[in-house]
A = this chain, B = another copy of it.
């Protein structure tokens, strides 16, 4: 962590990165990304997009390419999924983030997305991250399932070194021996990253816990820890989802959480401001 890197917060680079996407200034405004794990149909996507927008989300997520452990599991709708996302974006005005899993796709997928996501399994897929670095669209870089902060920041460095300064770090839980939760959400990364890097840091409590009852409390905890945003899985009919059904909120659950998130965010900002006096 000692050497000066492009990601480093330092006397040479004291200002925090702010990334403009549509009307949102990520790193300054609170980013609330919501949507289904996978794009499943146009109707599903448009419905959810309106619902999460109404609840306060300012970015839409949805996967068209799904990296799956088994070759026989649902792998995503691909191009037709991207077209659906694009339609939802146009209708609702919400910017869109979607995952890229192949370096050959980075350029053309970026036509359909405002932010390109690199998933946990691909964090150290160096040819892929170099390619999204070249494309220039903002990149949401998820932490690898068992990677250290240093390895994660080095992957951000790969993207920054290609000339793309717009990297958002997303903590999504690491693999531990705990089996009650799907992953162990490492919220200490929020203040730790804010201390060593100028890049914005968001948290995904849905993948990070894998349990419905933990998403809201851990989302609130992430806000108290100082994160710049949250990413939450929302599905119209979670029981019918094609992937990750056990961790998807209904739009109603999401709306209840979003209200608390914004309230707490405001409280934290006021308390910090008061403390600074």
Contact = CB atoms under 8 A, between A and B. Distances in A.
Interface of A: 1, 67-72, 101-104, 121-122, 124-128, 145-151, 154, 157-158, 161, 174-181, 184-188, 190-192, 195, 208-209, 211, 213-214, 217-218, 220-226, 256, 260, 263-264, 267-268, 271, 275
A167 B46 CA distance: 43
Contacts of A176: 174, 176, 184, 186
A184 B178 CA distance: 12
Of A184, A188, A214, A220, chain B has the most CB atoms within 10 Å of the CB of A188
Say how many copies of this protein the assembly contains. 4
Given A174-B178, A176-B184, A103 B101 contact: no
Contacts of A179: 148, 150
Contacts of A145: 146
Contacts of A260: 271, 275
Given A69-B154, A218-B188, A224 B264 contact: yes
A148 B180 contact: yes
Nearest to A223: B224
Contacts of A102: 103, 127
A106 to B, nearest CB: 11
A-B pairs, 10 with minimum CB distance:
A224-B224, A102-B127, A221-B225, A191-B217, A221-B221, A146-B146, A220-B224, A71-B158, A221-B224, A149-B180
Given A103-B104, A175-B177, A151 B69 contact: yes
Contacts of A161: 71-72
Contacts of A71: 126, 154, 157-158, 161
Contact of A218 (B146, B191, B213, B267): B191
A87 B249 CA distance: 53
22 contacts: A69-B151, A69-B154, A70-B157, A71-B126, A71-B157, A72-B161, A146-B175, A148-B178, A148-B180, A175-B177, A176-B176, A180-B192, A184-B186, A188-B208, A191-B217, A191-B218, A192-B213, A217-B225, A224-B264, A256-B275, A260-B271, A263-B271
